[in-house]
Amino acid sequence: MFNLSHPKLVALAETEGYSQVEDFLEDYALDSVVPAICMAPDCDHTADLEPDQRAGFCEACGRPSMKLGLVIAGMI
Ligand SMILES: [Zn+2]
């Protein structure tokens, strides 16, 4: 079951210029770099990560809380 309504996922899709989370996920599902967002409650930093990079350090807050949009959605 995919989770397409996670607030961080919606924010990430909007940051990338998508009004629909589904369109965002379709465009990036097979890409070599995938947008990720910081999962910290007080931070919405986004960056492009490689899909095999499950957790990345946030450049804004320094926590290992960057998560791929595809991971948030439960697709990978
Ligand atoms: Zn952060």
Q: What is the pLDDT of residues 34-49, one digit of tens each?
A: 999 999 999 999 999 9
Residue with tokens 């320094």: 62
Calculate how far, in angstroms, residue 19's C-alpha sits from the geometric centre of ligand 1.
Answer: 23
Calculate how far, in angstroms, residue 57's C-alpha sits from the geometric centre of ligand 1.
Answer: 8
Q: What is the mean pLDDT of residues 25-37?
A: 91
Q: What is the pLDDT of residues 45-65, one digit of tens each?
A: 999 998 776 568 999 999 999
Calculate how far, in angstroms, residue 16's C-alpha sits from the geometric centre of ligand 1.
Answer: 17
DSSP of 6-66? -HHHHHHHHHTT-S-HHHHHHHHTT-SSEEEEE-STT---EEEE-TT--SB--TTT--S-E
Query: pLDDT class for 11, splitting at 50, 70, 90?
Result: very high
